[in-house]
Structure 1
Amino acid sequence: MLVVLAFIIIFHITSIALLFISTIDNAWWVGNNFYLDIWKNCRNTTTNTACSEIGDDNNSFQAIQTIQATMILSTILCCIGLLSFVLQLFRLKQGERFVFTAIIQMLSCLCVMIAASIYTAMHDEFHQKLGLGEGSFGYSFVLAWIAFAFTLINSIMYLILRKRK
């Protein structure tokens, strides 16, 4: 049982790391001379890199603010889930354990899914309004979808684990 608990803790910490990286790092959409995330748009020139924030001056970027909020909420919920897991491990009786943690992880999963889905649906519109050229989804976007899968699997593991001794 200790091996299973250690594996779940490592899996949960990995989920948190993936969420932090995908939320913070600047690589949701990348091209030859630019990179874009949910916070800023950076253009590379031969001498320097010029970055500008996204969404403050234009009402059409309300979807970006939704993506920002749901990614932050997902990261916070995942951290709270780890904390509640540790607290519930020693405090609750068998059968009652980890239900709250599973619900928190499921909410985290839902938030990251909403953010990545909105970005997937709206990325063409964002790029046209920002005047960006051809590019592809970056590793932060891919990590967001991987974090979605990890948080979903983690929430299911907590539900299964609640009955174990």
Structure 2
Amino acid sequence: MLVLLAFIIIFHITSAALLFIATIDNAWWVGDGFFADVWKICTTENITNCTDIDDSFSHYSTMQAVQASMILSTILCCIAFFIFLLQLFRLKQGERFVLTSIIQLMSCLCVMIAASIYTDRRQDIHHGNMGFYLQAAEGSYGYSFILAWVAFAFTFISGLMYLILRKRK
């Protein structure tokens, strides 16, 4: 049982780490001479020049939804871990970690929403009014975007594990 518990804890911490990296790192859309994420867009010609995504950006509301969903998924994943630790010592034997599972599945839903919005609106986002965004259309999805989808799978699996898991001796 200790091996299973250690695996679940490591799996959950890995999920949280993937969410942190996907949310913070600047590699959702990359190409020759630029890289972009949900926070800023950078060009790398001679020096790195970054432009924050703010309300002057033509698709700011779309990016705000992606930003909010990624932050919320990361926060929910961390909350689920702390609740799991509390339930580990408070639940009676044979009870399930339902609250932990619900919060982890909500985290899963949030990261899926963020990655789905970004996937759907990526072409609109990078074909905006400014000249740089036309160049950005020639890129490809970066590793942070892929990590967001991997984090989706990890949080979904761990949410199901908590739902199925019963506390045993």
1:30 and 1:138 in contact (8 A); partners too: yes
Q: What do residues 103-161 of structure 1 show as CA deviations (whole Å, max 9, x unaligned)? A: 00000000000000000000001111133240100000000000000000000100111
Unaligned runs of 5+ in 2: none
TM-superposed CA distance for 1:97, in Å, is 3.6
Partners of 2:163 and 2:137 in 1: how far apart?
45
Q: What do residues 67-125 of structure 1 show as CA deviations (whole Å, max 9, x unaligned)? A: 00000000000000110010000101134341100000000000000000000000001
Partners of 1:164 and 1:152 in 2: how far apart?
23
Q: Give TM-score scaled by structure 2 length.
A: 0.93
Instruction: Flag the 1:164–1:65 CA change in 2: closer, same or farther, 3 A.
Output: same
The amino acid of 1:135's aligned partner reads G
TM-superposed CA distance for 1:65, in Å, is 0.1
2:92 and 2:167 in contact (8 A); partners too: no
Aligned 1:74-113 pairs, distance under 5 A? 74-113=73-112
The amino acid of 2:153's aligned partner reads A
TM-superposed CA distance for 1:57, in Å, is 1.5
Residue 71 of structure 2 aligns with which residue? 72
Choose 132-141 or 100-109, whichever is displaced more.
132-141
Residue 158 of structure 2 aligns with which residue? 154
Q: Percent identity?
A: 65
The amino acid of 1:155's aligned partner reads G
Aligned length: 164
Q: Give TM-score scaled by structure 1 length.
A: 0.95
Residue 2 of structure 2 aligns with which residue? 2
TM-superposed CA distance for 1:59, in Å, is 5.2
TM-superposed CA distance for 1:164, in Å, is 4.3
Q: What do residues 21-43 of structure 1 show as CA deviations (whole Å, max 9, x unaligned)? A: 00000000000100000000000
TM-superposed CA distance for 1:163, in Å, is 5.6
Matched, 1:145 2:144: no
2:40 and 2:52 in contact (8 A); partners too: yes
1:99 and 1:162 in contact (8 A); partners too: no
What is the RMSD computed on CA atoms of the aligned residues?
1.2
Secondary structure class of the residue paired with 2:126: helix
Residue 34 of structure 1 aligns with which residue? 34
Matched, 1:126 2:130: no
